[in-house]
Amino acid sequence: MRTKIFQLKENGEENEEFLRQAGECLKEGGLVAFPTETVYGLGGDALNPESSRKIYAAKGRPSDNPLIVHICRLEDLWQVASEVPPEAERIAEAFWPGPLTMILPKADRVPRETTGGLDTVAVRFPSHPAARRLIEYAGGFVAAPSANASGRPSPTEARYVQEDMEGRIDMILDGGPVGIGLESTIVDLTVRPPQILRPGFVTQDMLAQLLGQVDLDVTILRDDSGQAPKAPGMKYRHYAPKGDLTIVSGPAQKVVDYINEKASFYAARGEKVGIIGTEESLGRYRADSVKCAGSRTDEESIGRRLYRILREFDDEDVTRIYSEAFSAGGYGQAIMNRLLKAAGHKIVYLEESHT
Protein backbone atom coordinates (compact mmCIF):
# COMPACT_ATOMS: atom_id res chain seq x y z
CA MET A 1 0.00 0.00 0.00
CA ARG A 2 1.26 3.47 -0.85
CA THR A 3 0.68 5.95 1.98
CA LYS A 4 -0.33 9.43 0.78
CA ILE A 5 1.03 12.28 2.84
CA PHE A 6 -0.79 15.63 2.89
CA GLN A 7 0.75 18.74 4.46
CA LEU A 8 -1.84 20.83 6.27
CA LYS A 9 -0.95 24.52 6.26
CA GLU A 10 -2.07 27.07 8.74
CA ASN A 11 -5.17 28.55 7.10
CA GLY A 12 -4.29 26.76 3.84
CA GLU A 13 -7.18 26.66 1.37
CA GLU A 14 -6.22 23.20 0.13
CA ASN A 15 -6.62 21.85 3.68
CA GLU A 16 -10.35 21.54 3.22
CA GLU A 17 -9.87 19.39 0.11
CA PHE A 18 -7.33 17.15 1.91
CA LEU A 19 -9.63 16.76 4.90
CA ARG A 20 -12.59 15.96 2.66
CA GLN A 21 -10.59 13.28 0.81
CA ALA A 22 -9.37 11.84 4.11
CA GLY A 23 -12.94 11.78 5.43
CA GLU A 24 -14.08 9.91 2.32
CA CYS A 25 -11.26 7.43 2.79
CA LEU A 26 -12.41 6.76 6.38
CA LYS A 27 -16.02 6.32 5.24
CA GLU A 28 -14.83 3.71 2.74
CA GLY A 29 -13.10 1.75 5.49
CA GLY A 30 -9.59 3.19 5.04
CA LEU A 31 -7.10 4.29 7.70
CA VAL A 32 -5.91 7.91 8.09
CA ALA A 33 -3.41 9.26 10.63
CA PHE A 34 -4.19 12.79 11.80
CA PRO A 35 -2.98 15.38 14.30
CA THR A 36 -4.82 16.05 17.56
CA GLU A 37 -3.85 18.42 20.38
CA THR A 38 -2.37 15.49 22.36
CA VAL A 39 -0.60 13.10 19.93
CA TYR A 40 -1.22 11.86 16.37
CA GLY A 41 -4.10 9.40 16.05
CA LEU A 42 -4.58 6.47 13.67
CA GLY A 43 -8.18 6.85 12.55
CA GLY A 44 -10.74 4.41 11.20
CA ASP A 45 -14.56 4.46 11.08
CA ALA A 46 -15.55 3.67 14.70
CA LEU A 47 -18.85 2.10 13.65
CA ASN A 48 -17.27 -0.25 11.11
CA PRO A 49 -15.89 -3.43 12.73
CA GLU A 50 -13.66 -4.09 9.73
CA SER A 51 -11.97 -0.68 10.17
CA SER A 52 -11.21 -1.46 13.81
CA ARG A 53 -9.69 -4.80 12.80
CA LYS A 54 -7.50 -2.97 10.33
CA ILE A 55 -6.34 -0.52 13.01
CA TYR A 56 -5.20 -3.38 15.26
CA ALA A 57 -3.39 -5.00 12.36
CA ALA A 58 -1.62 -1.77 11.28
CA LYS A 59 -0.39 -1.09 14.82
CA GLY A 60 0.42 -4.68 15.67
CA ARG A 61 -1.80 -4.12 18.70
CA PRO A 62 -3.55 -6.86 20.71
CA SER A 63 -7.27 -6.73 19.88
CA ASP A 64 -8.34 -6.81 23.55
CA ASN A 65 -7.05 -3.25 23.85
CA PRO A 66 -10.04 -0.95 23.21
CA LEU A 67 -9.99 2.12 20.96
CA ILE A 68 -11.13 5.66 21.76
CA VAL A 69 -14.13 6.92 19.75
CA HIS A 70 -13.56 10.52 18.65
CA ILE A 71 -16.54 12.78 18.06
CA CYS A 72 -16.90 16.36 16.77
CA ARG A 73 -20.25 17.42 18.29
CA LEU A 74 -21.26 17.20 21.92
CA GLU A 75 -24.68 15.75 21.07
CA ASP A 76 -23.00 12.74 19.45
CA LEU A 77 -21.96 11.58 22.92
CA TRP A 78 -25.51 10.22 23.31
CA GLN A 79 -25.10 8.27 20.05
CA VAL A 80 -22.20 6.17 21.37
CA ALA A 81 -22.92 6.04 25.12
CA SER A 82 -26.10 4.35 26.40
CA GLU A 83 -26.05 6.32 29.67
CA VAL A 84 -24.62 9.78 30.28
CA PRO A 85 -24.59 10.61 34.00
CA PRO A 86 -24.69 14.28 35.13
CA GLU A 87 -20.96 14.11 35.99
CA ALA A 88 -20.19 13.32 32.36
CA GLU A 89 -22.16 16.34 31.20
CA ARG A 90 -20.29 18.56 33.64
CA ILE A 91 -16.94 17.21 32.50
CA ALA A 92 -17.90 17.73 28.87
CA GLU A 93 -18.95 21.29 29.57
CA ALA A 94 -15.71 22.07 31.39
CA PHE A 95 -13.11 20.23 29.28
CA TRP A 96 -14.53 19.48 25.82
CA PRO A 97 -13.40 19.95 23.18
CA GLY A 98 -10.05 19.03 24.70
CA PRO A 99 -7.57 16.42 25.96
CA LEU A 100 -9.99 14.33 27.99
CA THR A 101 -11.54 10.89 27.39
CA MET A 102 -14.55 9.51 29.28
CA ILE A 103 -15.44 5.85 29.82
CA LEU A 104 -19.21 5.24 29.72
CA PRO A 105 -21.56 2.29 29.04
CA LYS A 106 -21.56 1.73 25.29
CA ALA A 107 -24.51 2.10 22.96
CA ASP A 108 -25.43 -0.91 20.78
CA ARG A 109 -24.31 0.74 17.57
CA VAL A 110 -20.66 0.76 18.71
CA PRO A 111 -19.21 -2.59 17.62
CA ARG A 112 -17.30 -4.73 20.11
CA GLU A 113 -14.38 -4.78 17.71
CA THR A 114 -13.96 -1.09 18.55
CA THR A 115 -14.28 -1.53 22.34
CA GLY A 116 -11.98 -4.54 22.54
CA GLY A 117 -14.94 -6.71 23.57
CA LEU A 118 -16.00 -4.43 26.47
CA ASP A 119 -19.51 -3.15 27.30
CA THR A 120 -18.04 0.30 27.89
CA VAL A 121 -16.78 2.85 25.39
CA ALA A 122 -14.07 5.53 25.58
CA VAL A 123 -15.22 8.84 24.05
CA ARG A 124 -13.18 11.94 23.29
CA PHE A 125 -14.04 15.25 21.60
CA PRO A 126 -10.67 16.70 20.50
CA SER A 127 -10.04 20.43 20.16
CA HIS A 128 -7.61 20.30 17.21
CA PRO A 129 -9.40 22.06 14.30
CA ALA A 130 -8.17 19.65 11.59
CA ALA A 131 -9.15 16.64 13.71
CA ARG A 132 -12.63 18.06 14.17
CA ARG A 133 -13.11 18.73 10.45
CA LEU A 134 -11.85 15.27 9.57
CA ILE A 135 -14.25 13.57 11.99
CA GLU A 136 -17.09 15.60 10.51
CA TYR A 137 -16.18 14.61 6.94
CA ALA A 138 -15.87 10.98 8.08
CA GLY A 139 -19.44 10.90 9.35
CA GLY A 140 -18.91 11.79 13.01
CA PHE A 141 -17.31 8.76 14.71
CA VAL A 142 -13.60 8.04 14.34
CA ALA A 143 -11.85 5.31 16.34
CA ALA A 144 -8.26 6.37 16.91
CA PRO A 145 -5.49 4.97 19.02
CA SER A 146 -2.18 6.82 19.03
CA ALA A 147 -0.56 6.41 15.58
CA ASN A 148 2.57 4.59 16.74
CA ALA A 149 3.44 0.95 16.18
CA SER A 150 2.54 -0.96 19.35
CA GLY A 151 5.33 -0.58 21.93
CA ARG A 152 6.77 2.67 20.49
CA PRO A 153 6.28 6.14 21.99
CA SER A 154 3.16 7.95 20.72
CA PRO A 155 4.00 10.18 17.72
CA THR A 156 4.16 13.91 18.33
CA GLU A 157 5.10 14.74 14.72
CA ALA A 158 3.99 13.33 11.36
CA ARG A 159 7.50 12.07 10.53
CA TYR A 160 7.25 9.65 13.48
CA VAL A 161 3.90 8.40 12.18
CA GLN A 162 5.58 7.87 8.82
CA GLU A 163 8.42 5.93 10.48
CA ASP A 164 5.96 3.50 12.08
CA MET A 165 3.08 3.40 9.60
CA GLU A 166 4.34 4.05 6.06
CA GLY A 167 2.95 1.38 3.73
CA ARG A 168 0.45 0.20 6.36
CA ILE A 169 -2.19 2.94 6.15
CA ASP A 170 -3.83 4.99 3.39
CA MET A 171 -3.01 8.52 4.42
CA ILE A 172 -1.13 10.75 6.83
CA LEU A 173 -2.28 14.32 7.48
CA ASP A 174 0.77 16.32 8.56
CA GLY A 175 -0.31 19.18 10.82
CA GLY A 176 3.13 19.86 12.33
CA PRO A 177 4.22 19.12 15.91
CA VAL A 178 1.37 18.63 18.40
CA GLY A 179 0.74 21.06 21.25
CA ILE A 180 0.58 18.79 24.31
CA GLY A 181 2.64 15.70 23.50
CA LEU A 182 1.12 13.23 26.00
CA GLU A 183 -2.13 11.31 25.48
CA SER A 184 -5.48 12.48 26.88
CA THR A 185 -6.58 12.01 30.48
CA ILE A 186 -8.91 9.00 30.75
CA VAL A 187 -11.61 9.12 33.42
CA ASP A 188 -13.92 6.18 34.12
CA LEU A 189 -17.48 7.33 34.91
CA THR A 190 -18.93 3.85 35.23
CA VAL A 191 -17.63 3.67 38.84
CA ARG A 192 -18.27 5.81 41.94
CA PRO A 193 -16.27 7.89 42.68
CA PRO A 194 -15.00 8.47 39.13
CA GLN A 195 -11.54 7.05 38.57
CA ILE A 196 -8.63 8.30 36.48
CA LEU A 197 -7.29 5.40 34.41
CA ARG A 198 -4.61 7.45 32.64
CA PRO A 199 -3.37 10.85 33.86
CA GLY A 200 -3.00 13.64 31.31
CA PHE A 201 -3.20 17.34 30.70
CA VAL A 202 -6.51 17.57 32.58
CA THR A 203 -5.28 16.78 36.09
CA GLN A 204 -6.80 14.97 39.06
CA ASP A 205 -7.13 18.32 40.89
CA MET A 206 -8.99 19.89 37.98
CA LEU A 207 -11.46 16.98 37.90
CA ALA A 208 -11.82 16.93 41.70
CA GLN A 209 -12.66 20.64 41.75
CA LEU A 210 -15.55 19.89 39.45
CA LEU A 211 -16.79 16.57 40.86
CA GLY A 212 -15.55 16.27 44.43
CA GLN A 213 -13.66 13.04 45.01
CA VAL A 214 -11.88 11.56 41.99
CA ASP A 215 -9.69 8.50 42.51
CA LEU A 216 -6.59 7.41 40.67
CA ASP A 217 -6.17 3.83 39.43
CA VAL A 218 -3.64 2.51 41.97
CA THR A 219 -1.50 0.97 39.26
CA ILE A 220 -0.68 4.35 37.68
CA LEU A 221 2.36 5.44 39.65
CA ARG A 222 3.37 2.13 41.26
CA ASP A 223 3.78 -1.38 40.01
CA ASP A 224 3.68 -3.19 43.35
CA SER A 225 -0.11 -3.13 43.76
CA GLY A 226 -0.42 -6.65 42.34
CA GLN A 227 -3.47 -5.44 40.40
CA ALA A 228 -4.08 -5.17 36.67
CA PRO A 229 -4.63 -1.62 35.38
CA LYS A 230 -8.28 -0.86 34.54
CA ALA A 231 -7.45 0.57 31.11
CA PRO A 232 -6.40 -2.57 29.24
CA GLY A 233 -3.78 -0.61 27.28
CA MET A 234 -1.97 0.50 30.44
CA LYS A 235 -0.85 -3.06 31.21
CA TYR A 236 1.37 -3.25 28.16
CA ARG A 237 4.87 -1.89 28.45
CA HIS A 238 4.23 1.01 26.09
CA TYR A 239 6.66 3.78 25.38
CA ALA A 240 9.61 1.45 25.81
CA PRO A 241 12.85 2.84 24.42
CA LYS A 242 15.45 0.39 23.05
CA GLY A 243 17.96 1.57 25.65
CA ASP A 244 17.76 0.54 29.30
CA LEU A 245 16.14 3.51 31.11
CA THR A 246 16.59 4.33 34.80
CA ILE A 247 14.95 7.29 36.58
CA VAL A 248 16.95 8.97 39.35
CA SER A 249 15.12 10.87 42.10
CA GLY A 250 16.64 12.94 44.91
CA PRO A 251 18.40 16.22 45.72
CA ALA A 252 19.46 17.97 42.47
CA GLN A 253 23.26 17.83 42.90
CA LYS A 254 23.20 14.21 44.09
CA VAL A 255 21.17 13.23 41.05
CA VAL A 256 23.68 14.92 38.72
CA ASP A 257 26.64 13.23 40.46
CA TYR A 258 24.99 9.80 40.43
CA ILE A 259 24.03 10.02 36.77
CA ASN A 260 27.49 11.26 35.72
CA GLU A 261 29.14 8.43 37.64
CA LYS A 262 26.93 5.83 35.93
CA ALA A 263 27.43 7.50 32.55
CA SER A 264 31.21 7.29 32.77
CA PHE A 265 31.04 3.72 34.12
CA TYR A 266 29.04 2.51 31.10
CA ALA A 267 30.89 4.72 28.60
CA ALA A 268 34.15 3.07 29.71
CA ARG A 269 32.56 -0.27 28.80
CA GLY A 270 31.81 0.95 25.31
CA GLU A 271 28.12 1.66 25.80
CA LYS A 272 26.40 4.69 24.37
CA VAL A 273 24.80 6.66 27.19
CA GLY A 274 21.91 9.13 26.99
CA ILE A 275 20.78 11.53 29.72
CA ILE A 276 17.49 13.37 30.14
CA GLY A 277 18.13 16.56 32.09
CA THR A 278 16.46 19.93 32.42
CA GLU A 279 17.44 23.51 31.60
CA GLU A 280 18.42 23.85 35.25
CA SER A 281 20.93 20.98 35.18
CA LEU A 282 21.94 20.40 31.58
CA GLY A 283 25.41 21.97 31.65
CA ARG A 284 26.49 19.69 34.49
CA TYR A 285 26.08 16.40 32.61
CA ARG A 286 28.78 14.57 30.66
CA ALA A 287 27.66 11.83 28.23
CA ASP A 288 27.36 10.99 24.53
CA SER A 289 23.87 12.34 24.26
CA VAL A 290 22.47 14.82 26.77
CA LYS A 291 18.93 16.01 26.09
CA CYS A 292 16.91 18.78 27.60
CA ALA A 293 13.38 17.80 28.61
CA GLY A 294 12.48 21.44 29.22
CA SER A 295 12.38 23.62 32.28
CA ARG A 296 11.37 22.47 35.76
CA THR A 297 9.34 25.66 36.00
CA ASP A 298 7.36 24.72 32.86
CA GLU A 299 6.02 21.15 33.02
CA GLU A 300 4.16 21.59 29.75
CA SER A 301 7.49 21.93 27.97
CA ILE A 302 8.56 18.57 29.42
CA GLY A 303 5.35 16.84 28.33
CA ARG A 304 5.79 18.21 24.83
CA ARG A 305 9.34 16.84 24.40
CA LEU A 306 9.37 13.55 26.27
CA TYR A 307 8.32 11.18 23.47
CA ARG A 308 10.51 12.87 20.90
CA ILE A 309 13.53 12.44 23.17
CA LEU A 310 12.82 8.74 23.65
CA ARG A 311 12.57 8.26 19.88
CA GLU A 312 15.80 10.20 19.31
CA PHE A 313 17.67 7.94 21.72
CA ASP A 314 16.41 4.95 19.72
CA ASP A 315 17.65 6.52 16.47
CA GLU A 316 21.03 7.19 18.07
CA ASP A 317 21.26 3.57 19.29
CA VAL A 318 21.74 4.66 22.87
CA THR A 319 21.95 1.58 25.13
CA ARG A 320 21.76 3.19 28.63
CA ILE A 321 19.50 6.09 29.52
CA TYR A 322 19.30 8.02 32.79
CA SER A 323 16.55 10.53 33.45
CA GLU A 324 15.92 12.98 36.23
CA ALA A 325 12.61 12.42 38.07
CA PHE A 326 9.87 15.03 38.00
CA SER A 327 7.40 16.05 40.67
CA ALA A 328 4.49 13.63 40.75
CA GLY A 329 1.75 16.20 41.47
CA GLY A 330 -0.48 18.10 39.03
CA TYR A 331 0.54 17.61 35.42
CA GLY A 332 3.72 15.95 36.71
CA GLN A 333 1.55 12.90 37.45
CA ALA A 334 1.11 12.33 33.70
CA ILE A 335 4.79 12.94 32.94
CA MET A 336 6.00 10.56 35.67
CA ASN A 337 3.42 7.93 34.66
CA ARG A 338 4.78 7.83 31.09
CA LEU A 339 8.41 7.98 32.23
CA LEU A 340 7.90 5.17 34.76
CA LYS A 341 6.28 2.99 32.12
CA ALA A 342 9.14 3.68 29.70
CA ALA A 343 11.55 2.68 32.47
CA GLY A 344 9.62 -0.46 33.38
CA HIS A 345 9.28 1.26 36.81
CA LYS A 346 13.04 1.27 37.37
CA ILE A 347 13.72 4.21 39.70
CA VAL A 348 16.58 4.96 42.10
CA TYR A 349 15.91 7.12 45.17
CA LEU A 350 18.89 9.07 46.54
CA GLU A 351 18.66 10.45 50.06
CA GLU A 352 19.62 13.82 51.44
CA SER A 353 22.99 13.33 53.20
CA HIS A 354 22.99 14.11 56.92
CA THR A 355 26.66 14.92 57.47
Q: Does 101 bind Mg ion (CB under 5 A)?
A: no
* Residues in region 55-74 near ligand TXA by CB under 6 A: 65-68
Sites for Mg ion among residues 184-223 (CB under 5 A): none
Tell me the C-alpha to C-alpha distance, in Å, between residue 251 and each of 57, 237, 255, 327: 45, 28, 6, 12
290/342 with CB nearer Mg ion: 342
Choosing from 135, 142, 144, 276, the residue that interacts with ligand TXA (CB under 6 A) is: 144
Give 133's Cβ-side CA count (13 Å radius).
16
What number of CA atoms fall less than 13 Å from residue 316's CA on the CB side?
Answer: 21
CA distances in angstroms from 30 to 3, 76, 185, listed in the order given: 11, 22, 27
Query: Which is it for strands 4-7 and 41-45: parallel, antiparallel or unpaired?
Result: unpaired
Q: Which of residues 85-114 bind ligand TXA (CB under 6 A)?
A: 101, 103
- Out of 234, 259, 325, 342, the only residue in the binding site for ligand TXA (CB under 6 A) is 234
> Is the Cβ–Cβ distance between 234 and 219 less than 8 Å?
yes
115 makes contact, choosing from Mg ion, ligand TXA, none, with CB < 5 to 8 Å by partner type, with ligand TXA
Is residue 145 a contact residue for ligand TXA (CB under 6 A)? yes
Candidate segments 12-20, 139-147, 197-205, 318-326, binder of Mg ion by CB under 5 A: 139-147
- Nearest residue to 281 (alpha-carbon basis) of 267, 269, 293: 293
Of 231, 256, 309, 343, the residue at the interface with ligand TXA (CB under 6 A) is 231
Nearest one of 31, 301, 346 to 164, comparing CA atoms:
31
Q: Say which entry of ligand TXA, Mg ion, none residue 196 contacts (CB below 5 to 8 A, set by partner kind).
A: none
* Contact residue for Mg ion among 38, 146, 203, 289 (CB under 5 A): 146
Bond from prior residue into 111 cis (ω within 30 degrees of 0): no
User: Is residue 156 near Mg ion by the rule CB under 5 A?
Assistant: no
Distances (CA, A) of 243 to 226, 279, 310, 318: 26, 23, 9, 6
How many residues make contact with ligand TXA (CB under 6 A)?
Answer: 28
Among 36, 48, 204, 219, binds ligand TXA (CB under 6 A): 36
- Distance of closest approach, residue 304 Cβ to ligand TXA, in angstroms: 14
The H helix count followed by the E strand count for the chain is: 10, 16
- Per CB under 6 A, residues contacting ligand TXA are 36, 38-39, 41, 65-68, 101, 103, 115, 118, 120-122, 124, 144-146, 183-184, 186, 197, 230-234
